[in-house]
Amino acid sequence: MANRGEDREEPGHAASRLTGRRVAGTRAASASPAEVTLEGGLVVMVKRGDAPGAVRAEVAGLRWLGESGAVRVPEVFGHDESWMVTERVPTGPPDGEAALRFGRALAALHAAGAPAFGAPPPGGPEDAYIGLAPMRNAPGADWPTWYAEHRVLPYARRAVDAGTVRPGQAAVIERVCERLADLAGPAEPPARLHGDLWNGNVLWGTDGEVRLIDPAAHGGHRETDLAMLRLFGCPHLDRVLAGYQEAAPLADGWQRRVGLHQLFPLLVHTVLFGGGYGEQALTAARDALAG
């Protein structure tokens, strides 16, 4: 938990304190992340954690993804419980060839594996986050049971409590959970997931390489990351999927399971933002049952 002094700390001060380098300039100082230029011209991104444990979870996730040797992530220059300082990635327009390489890299990341479904990254807390929503990384033995108990049902209950999903509507989601063993497709080993892989967390570098940021990393089903990319739109998704299928073909019927894997992020958005996300979650649940 940050103390009051840390609450008032500016991004530039945090960057200097955590890197040991003087600040030459700050851009968007009131934003998070803020862009800070350090002495010598190094430009970094300075991000404040939104909740206790959030920075530790994000740093552990970035390191776990990077240690796979499969995908690239921004370098972490320093962090504490409240702030993290990372490499700034110059970005450009998405590129089809980069998308193809990204698909292959994502397949390799997933193949790097995890100790269990729901396993947190080494050094990461069990009580983590997906965006601003709490996300508990409690290990489970099989994906259908774990996905129902630790991803779908907790958020369905919160949505009912918040009034964004009616109890009668939640019954559709509960039926999906009851049938998950039949709907989930062939059993797969735990994959090393980014966990919050929407397009905003995919940086298309000017060097032609993709970097991943803001992970909610954990052990899960590899189709979940791919479904997340489709949910909120990803440039050249067809090329990403082509690269992925070339490296690690997906099990038959994966297209029919997209809605099943989108159910969790849609429920998270229902809890955080309400609006039409509840209806989208119900549509995904009905599509999964119709599978």
Closest CA to 188 of 253, 284, 101: 253
Q: What is the pLDDT of residues 236-288, one digit of tens each?
A: 999 999 999 999 999 999 999 999 999 999 999 999 999 899 999 999 999 99
Contact in structure between 207 and 215 (CB atoms under 8 Å): no
Q: What is the pLDDT of residues 107-158, one digit of tens each?
A: 999 999 999 999 999 999 999 999 889 999 999 999 999 999 999 999 999 9
Q: What is the band of 291 on the pLDDT scale with cuts at 50, 70, 90? A: confident
Calculate Rg over the CA atoms of the chain. Answer: 19
Q: Decide if pLDDT at 1 tops 60.
A: no
Q: Rounded to an integer, what distance in angstroms lies between the CA atom of residue 161 and that of residue 45?
A: 37
Residues labelled as active-site residues: 196
Q: What is the pLDDT of residues 13-65, one digit of tens each?
A: 999 999 999 999 888 666 679 999 999 999 999 999 978 899 999 999 999 99
Domains of the chain as residue ranges with CATH: 4-87 (3.30.200.20), 96-290 (3.90.1200.10)
